[in-house]
Structure 1
């Protein structure tokens, strides 16, 4: 009896079927072995090469996966193979090539909703809103039940200001997939942007997006049941169960630790900029710095780039104007890269004209194009001024357009992803060396305070009368002009104790712009025995008028866990003492840093009990209060905090020390030399 032997073709077909079964079961090691056995038997088996490429890519071996897929394509083109190649290129941050591969897949007849959706995302990144919308609509046409495409279309409509259309798209997406947490996050974000905060809160809770729910509640001073929501939010961070969990919104949670905050940053970066973080760096770390440093002694200049979206009405960045103006143009070639949606406002237009700097408007460029522009300009040290704040585009720094990247000023914490920034500028108070393990960046320490101030900021208008500012004619004025999300029941309880212990005193708060928020705050203080007329809301004013009225306050009260930043330097500039207690986070230690740089360490409390005692003593002892105000007025002229020229020289020394560290190596924090 003759026994038939299996042919290579039949053997390969059996192995291919088994391999695909293993691949679909996520058994990648077994699948890879089976596909490799096929191509060893038949080197021209296009299907096996393709499935091997998919298997490798799913194991994040993208370069090897791409090579296998291209081998398959050399043996025969198909829409499926182009689609999977595009996905592999996307994960490597090679967006243009991915777009081309998706387009070839479509031309070869592919009509999958996921393909069109991914193409839309890439086109949106390229700022090609017209074709991105067409791609999302094609995804919906291919699969009318594909909720994700409706959600992405909504984000595109929201960016274009088409809020009604965006809401309709999100409602449709949630109708199709009511359990999709990402869609609830997007819907809550839209409602928050429209200032429909109660509805935003409901949307976030529906999607169990606790990190966003707690933030919205803090924005409206809705403090009930926050402990439970805070615990759930921190568990989401620790477990990594939520994508796109913005680290900035966590800063109001009292139990947030620096380690968890760093972890939130890492997860956010790896979710938001996966492709960019995986792409080959445009500039190798440290490349050319040795030559640049050596040339500086021969009249050459270090090229410093500042990257931000905020060269318009933005309080924090305005503090930097004086530093930019005073940079030593003989030693530093300064470049400002603005990707903001708004043109520079009148303040910046006036200042930019006189700055020893080159201004680059890169808002119309994609992240890849902007990074290429910075790399072409040969920037030696790039300073990102945004971090994880609103409208950030850290995709630019993720592509590594400079040999060394520094995070500073905008975001008070670690970015968590080492590729986004090599150094974080702080000082010994906000970023003590003992806390270095809480940062993915190497600490770079300014000698006094990390926060700059503008030497040309003046108290031009005289202070208004107390009556004009809405204050009573007599009585001690406590104030806190921080955003409402920084307030909480613990701090407000201490403030209520101060009011109850200080006859005829009032608390002056920044008007939150919401009747519901004002009502929540009044209701809370009433539970603490404080009458409504003793909590006064100040309307928002232009900066000069705001600084003028601040002089009417007697004592500023800092907040925790996130404290006063520009608000703190504003009150000190206006000559108003501030009491602060340093917290665990960078964001909760800024007030202490400001006071230390003013020589007013006695106003830095050990803990919140001591905070209460210092504030009460200042309110109860007119002689000590007058003495502190006198010292503050003198320090405003002499202390390092408001000495912009001194700050600029220190910053320049720190930049040079960072570059030298890159060239020579070293351990521990970098300090200005």
Structure 2
């Protein structure tokens, strides 16, 4: 939003009111000076003084609207600007009206106002750029590109428009063009941290990870530096980089700082992680968060409960992009099949760019659900469809993970919104989700202050499992899996970014204390990462042939080979999630320790739900002792494996029908709490 620098801005307006008095002109100049100095209270008083003398003073109404909007009084600012427009139509008024509409989440009206400003002669690069951002957000990529190019034509030195054009080109898969646009943007503004972040992101997407590291460093985007280094096991100087990243979170120094990428930092606290989520949400979806909710919280739920008592169904919506090859969401398939169709009307909303794969196409046919492909809709259109479908409880399955579209939930398309499964932590912004589903281990009641959401606790484990996964598939030979014929096999199939020097040092001690043992890791897919891991273990006295990398395989083949492992090793500060469930399903015990974060307590929750709490340590020294005892005591190891085999038929973790019933009871408890009121966590026993 722009304020003119002098009252001469209005000189040529043809309005019916008398010529501006010198007194009003002086007040307008002074008011604009105070506005530009961000002394909003004084500026507002000066503009109102003008209006007390001349109620039809367009300039005063205009600048009063700007001043109110700058103070986040967007509705009042809009009213003042519209009054000015009723007295005199001009492009600058339409431009500033667009800004107030944008902040209120009224994108369609904002687009119309920007076009009106342009049609009335406004030729400002920022206007074209803002219009492009709105059009891109609404999937109108052709017109968005035209707007960005108009911004560049208007001001070839406007680096931000070059950068935004690059992001549009990247999303379209035009990586060479995107890199050229980003290089131009950085040439124009080499100190722009946001542009370096974008360039690093493009290089990371192209798997040019060393270049991405350099780009992030150039832009001092330390949270991205630490994440990409962890991806390639580059652990040098990470303590200092981690400190800088956490300081960026605490100070709010960086916008668009994705909370997911912080989870590998050992010093990250739950409170700081929540704050990162809050800042990210208000950076990414500020307009949506400021907009009038489509559905008021709790609206209609008392009536819904009464209808359910009379035999009607509660309408549950699940929102995700991952109804394709995604291991975590596959665990939900059994729950969706077992939902009680007589009591619950289930809707799946898929905004992913991929159509459901063969797994989901087969399973969807057996599910009592209605599937909605909403990938071609804008956030506002998708939210409007959810409203039309009358969803009572909406479950977001993504959180702050890849391809998230929390702009949909920010618009509040349902009376109660729940965060579950995809993201292990608080979203930080209460409007994005009212509840987070956890359990007494991952989200203990004592940790409630670390969440912007109300805790909703499952009785055993928050993570579902699929009862139709194949049991005991034909395992390959050890030789076929790249393992030696003999020797104890420790394994960790977690992503490389979850590994760190402290955990790897413990694993090296286990290898040294267990003759002929090997460590089986998921191949990081990067030669330098493999070399760094081998080099690290060699510094710990472990020969490189004892660290074996397993190639990535399809889920069924992976579960088959996983049976060859003897013990799974959990990681901290972020632990095994689906990886842990896979190991336990394959009959492989896992040793874990309780971390500070939700993401570091999942392994403990899984083990609790299969009745193996003795494999959960309170600290990493205890973790080492438990793992060493299992590797050194064949009788105890055999006993644990026998108990785990029995647990597949008896334990709550693998009882999908029981889990589904518990989840349905939890949904009803949440709805009842919203309808009737209540304090503290919601839990079912």
State the Cα deviation string for residues 142-166 of structure 1 (Å, max 9, x = none). Answer: 0000000000000000000000000
Question: Is 2:603 aligned against 1:591?
Answer: yes
Among 135, 139, 144, which residue is 2:147 paired with?
135
Does the CA-based 8 Å contact 1:154-1:170 persist in structure 2? yes
Give CA-to-partner distance per residue, 1:106-154, whole Å, 9 cap, x none: 0001110000000000000110000000000000000000000000000
1:125 aligns with one of 131, 137, 156: 137
Residue 261 (structure 2) pairs with residue 249 (structure 1): yes
Residue in 2 aligned with 1:50?
62
Change (3 A) 1:8 1:159: closer
Q: What CA distance in whole angstroms lies between the structure 1 residues aligned with 2:619 and 2:333?
A: 35
Counterpart of 1:544 (choices 533, 544, 556) is 556
Using the size of structure 2 for normalisation, the TM-score is: 0.97
Q: Separation in 2 of the partners of 1:461 and 1:332?
A: 34
Tell me, yes or no, if structure 1 residue 564 matches structure 2 residue 571. Answer: no
Other-structure match for 1:371? 383
Residues 522-571 of structure 1, C-alpha deviation per residue, up to 9 Å, x if partnerless?
A: 00000000000000000111111110111100000000000000000000
Equivalent position to 1:29, from 41, 50, 57: 41
The Cα offsets for residues 75-113 of structure 1, whole Å up to 9 and x where unpaired, read as 001110000000110000000000000000000011100
2:90 to 78, 87, 111: 78
CA deviation after TM superposition for structure 1 residue 672, in Å: 2.0
Question: What secondary structure does 2:491 align onto?
Answer: strand
Deviation, structure 1 residue 7: 9.5
Judge conservation of contact 2:489–2:517 (CA < 8 Å) in 1.
yes
Q: CA separation in 1, counterparts of 2:194 and 2:353?
A: 25
Q: Residue deviations 1:450-486, cap 9 Å, x none?
A: 0000000013631111111100000000000000000
CA contact (8 A) 1:35 1:49 kept: yes
User: Partners of 1:64 and 1:518 in 2: how far apart?
Assistant: 59
| Residues 1:207 and 2:185 are matched in the alignment | no
Q: Deviation at 1:8?
A: 6.7
Aligned to 1:501: 513
Task: Give the distance between the partners of 2:524 and 2:93, measured in 1 at CA.
Answer: 55
Q: Write the mapping of 1:183-202 to structure 2, written as runs, cut at 5 A.
A: 183-202=195-214
Deviations 1:234-263 (A, max 9, x none): 000000000000000000000000000000
Partners of 1:180 and 1:564 lie apart in 2 by 36
**How far apart, CA to CA, are the structure 1 residues paired with 2:420 and 2:591?**
25
CA displacement, residues 383-410 of structure 1 (integer Å, 9 cap, x when unaligned): 0000000000000000000000000000
1:336 aligned residue: 348
Aligned-residue offset at 1:10: 1.3
Structure-2 separation of matches of 1:652 and 1:604: 29
Alpha-carbon RMSD: 0.9
8 Å Cα contact 2:62/2:81 also seen in 1 = yes
For the residues of structure 1 that align with 2:679 and 2:101, how far apart are their CA atoms? 37
Cα pair 1:424 1:444 within 8 Å, conserved: yes
Counterpart CA distance in 2 for 1:405 and 1:206 is 40
Shift of 1:36: 0.5
Is structure 2 residue 305 aligned with structure 1 residue 293?
A: yes
* Secondary structure of 1:443 counterpart: strand
Q: Could you say which residue in structure 2 is the equivalent of 1:481?
A: 493
* Paired residues of 1:334 and 1:358 also in contact (CA < 8 A): yes
How far apart, in 1, do the equivalents of 2:200 and 2:108 lie? 32
Q: Following superposition, which runs of at least 4 residues in structure 1 exceed 6 angstroms of deviation?
A: none
1:581 aligns with 2:593: yes
Give the secondary structure class of the aligned counterpart of 1:305.
strand
In the TM superposition, 1:235-314 aligns within 5 A as 235-314=247-326
The reply to whether residue 646 of structure 1 matches residue 658 of structure 2 is yes
Counterpart-to-counterpart distance in 1, 2:300 and 2:84: 40
- Residue 350 of structure 1 pairs with residue 390 of structure 2: no
Aligned equivalent of 1:3 = none
Q: C-alpha deviations, 1:305-328, integer Å up to 9, x for none?
A: 000000000000000000000000
Q: 2:565 aligns with which of 553, 563, 586?
A: 553
Residue number in structure 2 paired with 1:635: 647
**Relative to structure 1, is the Cα distance of residues 557 and 411 closer, same or farther in structure 2, using a 3 angstrom cutoff?**
same
Matches of 2:186 and 2:23, distance apart in 1: 47
Q: Find out whether 1:409 has 2:426 as its counterpart.
A: no
SS of aligned partner of 2:593: coil
How many angstroms apart in 1 are the aligned matches of 2:488 and 2:673? Answer: 51
Aligned pairs for 1:383-462 (under 5 A) are 383-459=395-471, 461-462=473-474
Q: Residue 318 of structure 2 contacts residue 347 of structure 2 at CA under 8 Å; is this kept in 1? A: yes
Residue in structure 1 matched with residue 165 of structure 2 by the alignment: 153
- Asked if the contact 2:472–2:586 (Cα under 8 Å) also holds between the matched residues in 1, the reply is no
Provide the residue aligned with 2:668 in structure 1: 656
Matched, 1:99 2:120: no
Q: Is the 8 A contact 1:459 1:544 kept in 2?
A: no
Q: Which runs of 5+ in 1 are unaligned?
A: 1-5
Deviation at 1:636, TM superposition (A): 1.0
**Cα distance per residue 1:172-217 (max 9 Å; x no partner):** 0000000000000000000000000000000000000000000000
Give the C-alpha shift of residue 572 in structure 1: 0.1
Q: How far apart, CA to CA, are the structure 2 residues paired with 1:376 and 1:477?
A: 54
Distance 1:549 1:386 in 2: 29
Partner Cα distance (2:266, 2:372) in 1: 40
Q: Secondary structure at the match of 1:389?
A: coil
Contact kept in structure 2, 1:315 and 1:566, CA below 8 Å: yes
Deviations 1:262-317 (A, max 9, x none): 00000000000000000000000000000000111111000000000000000000
TM-score (structure 1 length as normaliser): 0.99
Contact 1:467 1:473 in 2 (8 A): yes
Distance 1:196 1:481 in 2: 23
